[in-house]
């Protein structure tokens, strides 16, 4: 079974501070990991994929297979980063995307 | 605009009624989904269709029935609405072979009174 855990339901930081949103997963094979973001009153949208090794809006995430983690990081948080963030997992030949419970990030001025 | 669209955006109805939510995507994707987001913002898959064929049917009451008339449309019909059905329902689609890269609709906020 595939499972995604986001231990923090709420995370609050000040503008300019580093931010890390935690994500742990369990999966027996080689998973594909994603981060999705939902800004207030907007649709859910894909933020980044681990296979792309990209940085989007200053965010990066590294897949750590040893720790089964895929934490999302940004060195300097901005107020516009305030949103709900979901970590998600799919298997290479799977039929579904499994979401974590989400972390509500608030960046205070 | 190329996107996933849903109608209606808001739906307020009485317990026991039957209602439908429509979803359309013009992205040329093969796979479409319905998700339910509850009051705690937990997102749970309900159904998935690939080329009009049902491939995921989670443990959802059989009052919920999806219908896919063609690859670009996936509608959700709900019979005998209950208070616990109040939630935001999201439609999504993904391109072939890339189910992790899903495009979501704006959501339909259903309130059952």
pLDDT at B66: 93
Question: Are A95 and B45 in contact (CB < 8 Å)?
Answer: no
As a whole number, mean pLDDT of residues B78-101 equals 93
Is pLDDT of B2 > 80? no
As a whole number, mean pLDDT of residues B67-83 equals 94
Q: Encode pLDDT of A52-81 as tens digits.
A: 878 889 999 989 989 999 999 999 999 999
Which residue in B41, B48, B99 is closest to A102 by CB distance?
Answer: B41
What's the CA gap between A27 and A32, in Å, rounded? 10
Strand segments (E) across chain B: 4-7, 10-13, 19-25, 31-37, 43-50, 53-57, 64-70, 73-78, 87-94, 103-104, 108-112
Residues of chain B that touch chain A, judged by Cβ-Cβ distance less than 8 Å? 4, 40-45, 48, 55-56, 90, 92, 99-107
CB pairs under 8 A between A and B: 49
The C-alpha of A54 sits at a distance from chain B's nearest C-alpha, in angstroms, of 15
Question: Are B56 and A96 in contact (CB < 8 Å)?
Answer: yes
Q: Say which residue, B12 or A51, is predicted with more confidence.
A: B12
If pLDDT is split at 50, 70 and 90, which confidence band does B25 have? very high
What are A89's two structure tokens?
A: 């997992």
Q: Which residues contact B107 (CB under 8 A, 6 or more apart)?
A: A43, B6, B9, B37, B88, B89, B90
Q: Which residues contact B98 (CB under 8 A, 6 or more apart)?
A: none
pLDDT at B7: 96
Question: Looking at beta carbons, which residues of chain A come within 8 Å of B89?
Answer: none
Is pLDDT of A93 > 80? no
Q: What are phi and psi of B56, to 5 degrees?
A: -130, 130
The counts of H helices and E strands in chain A are 0, 11
- Residues of A83-106 as b/e, b for ≥16 C-beta within 10 angstroms? bbbbbbbbbeebebbbbbbbbbbe
Residue among B47, B43, B109, B104 nearest B75 (CA): B47
């Amino acid at each position: 079974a595939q499972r995604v855990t986001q231990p923090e339901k709420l995370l609050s930081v000040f503008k300019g501070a580093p931010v890390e949103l935690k994500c742990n997963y369990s999966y027996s094979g080689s998973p594909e990991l994603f981060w999705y973001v939902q800004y207030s009153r907007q649709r859910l949208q894909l933020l980044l994929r681990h296979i792309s090794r990209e940085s989007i809006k200053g965010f990066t995430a590294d897949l750590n297979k040893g720790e089964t983690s895929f934490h999302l990081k940004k060195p300097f948080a901005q107020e516009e980063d305030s949103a709900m963030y979901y970590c998600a997992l799919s298997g290479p030949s799977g039929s579904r995307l499994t979401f974590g419970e989400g972390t509500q990030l608030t960046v205070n001025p | 605009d190329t996107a996933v669209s849903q109608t209606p955006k808001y739906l307020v109805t009485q317990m026991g009624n039957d209602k439908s939510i429509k979803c359309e995507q013009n992205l040329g994707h093969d796979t479409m989904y319905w998700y339910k987001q509850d009051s705690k913002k937990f997102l749970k898959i309900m159904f998935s269709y690939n080329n009009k064929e049902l491939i995921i049917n989670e443990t959802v009451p059989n009052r919920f029935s999806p219908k896919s008339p063609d690859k670009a449309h996936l509608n959700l019909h709900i019979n005998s609405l209950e208070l616990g059905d109040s939630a935001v329902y999201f439609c999504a689609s993904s391109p072939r072979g890339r189910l992790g890269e899903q495009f979501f609709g704006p959501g339909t906020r259903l309130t059952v009174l």
